[in-house]
Amino acid sequence: MPRLPSDVWQHFTQVEVNGKPLWTCKYCGKTYVKNATKLQLHIVKCQQFLQTSEQTAKSSNSVETQPVSFDTGILPSVAGSSGTLLDYIDSMDGHSRRTADECFARAVYATNSPLTLTSNMYWQRFYNILRPANKPPTAHALSTYLLDNEFERMQAAVKQTINQTECISVISEGWSNGRGVINYAVAASHPLFYKSTDTTEHTRTAAYIAEELKSVIEEVGPGKVFALITDSAADMEEAWAHVEQTYPHISTIGCAAQSFNLLLKDIMMLKSLDMLNQIATQVEKFVKGNREALTRIYVSKQNQKMKSIQSKASCGVVSLYERLLDGQESLKEMASSQSAEIEREMQRILLDNMFWERLSSALSILKPIANAIGKIEGVEALLSDVVCLFAELQEEMQTVLPYSLLLQAEEAAVLELVEKHRKLCQKPLHAAAFMLDPKYDRGAMSGEEVSSAYTAITTLSDHLGLDSGLVLGSLATYRTKQGLWKGGGIWQACKHISACTWWNGLCASEAIAPVAVNILQVPPSAASVCKNTKERVHLALTDERQKKLVAVRANLRLFEEDTETSPIRLDSDSEEEGVVMDNGDWPRA
For residue 169, the cross-strand partners are 187, 227
Write down the pTM of the prediction: 0.72
Question: Pairing between strand 181-187 and 191-198?
Answer: antiparallel
For residue 32, the cross-strand partners are 23
pLDDT in tens, 362-389: 999 999 999 999 999 888 899 999 999 9
Gap between the Cα atoms of 475 and 497, Å rounded: 21
Query: How high is the pLDDT of residue 304?
Result: 47
pLDDT in tens, 207-244: 888 999 999 999 999 989 999 998 887 888 888 999 99
Q: Under a CB-based contact definition with an 8 Å cutoff, are residues 318 and 367 in contact?
A: yes
Phi first, then psi, for residue 104 (nearest 5°) are -65, -45
SS3 state at 191: strand
Question: Pairing between strand 251-254 and 225-230?
Answer: parallel
Question: Pairing between strand 251-254 and 31-32?
Answer: unpaired
Gap between the Cα atoms of 139 and 130, Å rounded: 20
SS3 state at 362: helix
Among the listed residues 385, 464, 421, the one whose alpha carbon sits nearest the alpha carbon of residue 258: 421
Tell me the three-class secondary structure of 446-491, residue by residue.
CHHHHHHHHHHHHHHHHHCCCCHHHHHHHHHHHHCCCHHHCCCHHH
Query: How high is the pLDDT of residue 588?
Result: 36
Q: What is the DSSP string of 191-218?
A: EEEEEEEE-TTS---HHHHHHHHHHHHH
Question: Pairing between strand 168-173 and 225-230?
Answer: parallel
For residue 181, the cross-strand partners are 198
pLDDT tens track of the chain, all 589 residues? 444 456 678 888 988 888 888 889 888 888 888 887 788 778 777 888 877 766 665 554 443 444 333 333 333 333 333 445 554 556 777 788 888 888 889 888 888 888 888 888 888 888 888 877 778 888 889 989 899 999 898 888 888 888 888 889 999 887 555 556 788 889 887 788 888 887 777 777 888 889 999 999 999 999 899 999 988 878 888 889 999 999 998 999 999 999 999 999 999 999 999 999 999 999 888 877 766 655 555 444 444 444 444 433 334 889 989 988 988 888 888 788 755 567 788 888 989 999 999 999 999 999 999 999 999 988 889 999 999 999 999 999 999 999 998 999 999 999 999 999 999 999 999 999 999 999 997 667 888 999 999 999 999 999 889 999 999 999 999 999 999 999 889 999 998 999 999 999 999 999 999 999 999 999 998 765 555 444 433 334 456 787 788 888 888 877 765 444 444 444 443 333 333 333 333 333 3
Per domain, the residue ranges of the chain are 7-89, 93-124+133-254+525-589, 256-426, 429-524
| Alpha carbon distances (Å) from 465 to 167, 223, 460, 488 | 12, 11, 9, 32
